[in-house]
Amino acid sequence: MAGKIILASSSPRRADILGKCNLKFEIMPSPYIEDHTTTVFSYDFIETLAYNKANAVLPLLSEPSIVIGADTVVVLDNEILGKPDGEQGAFDMLKKLSGKTHFVVTSIVVINSETNEVKKNSTTSYVTFEDLTDEQIYYYIRNFKPFDKAGSYGIQEMPDGYIKSYTGDLENIIGISSSSLTELLKKAE
């Protein structure tokens, strides 16, 4: 078994979830620059992003490791809603999501640096927003500053009256499914 577990992400939400899994891991943010030119959703595209994030960390390793790369996207009408470009971008995204059901996909790729074996998995969850007023949207943006979040929101911080319902894995919506990750890590040993 490769030695260390490396999370190739600077996401505090992913680190929190891994911490709750009682995993000993180190954070090594990936130097990979994400491609934001594609806005049409496909599982292959998201899994490739997660792979590229993990793979970019391999040359930085000083010892055998298991590297975890992940990418989360919010998808409405087959369009990827990435991280917003400022307050207006966040407003426009949340306005699009208002009153609708969208899905959230997190792809996880695990690479064993000793064997170069790659394991991957994508988890899909669904979120339905309430009909939001412009005032609610601006309140959320100004108080929670969701500029580093896909789709311009974090479900774990949404005030009451914003999310109507969700189905599937909540951790997946937040940023990484611990159950999916645990299965991948077992396969990567």
Distance CA 94, CA 79 (A): 14
CA distances for 39 relative to 123, 128, 176, angstroms = 19, 21, 21
First vs last Cα of the chain: how many Å apart? 5
Of the candidates 16, 71, 92, 131, the residue annotated as catalytic is: 71
- Whether 134 is catalytic is no
- Helix, strand, coil % over all residues of the chain, rounded to 5: 35, 25, 35
Q: Distance (Å, rounded) from C-alpha 42 to C-alpha 153? A: 21
Residue 120 CA, chain-centre distance (Å), reads 14
Give the three-class secondary structure for 152. helix
Closest C-alpha to 158, from 179, 176, 132, 177: 132
- The pair of structure tokens assigned to 113 is 């640096």
The catalytic residues are 71
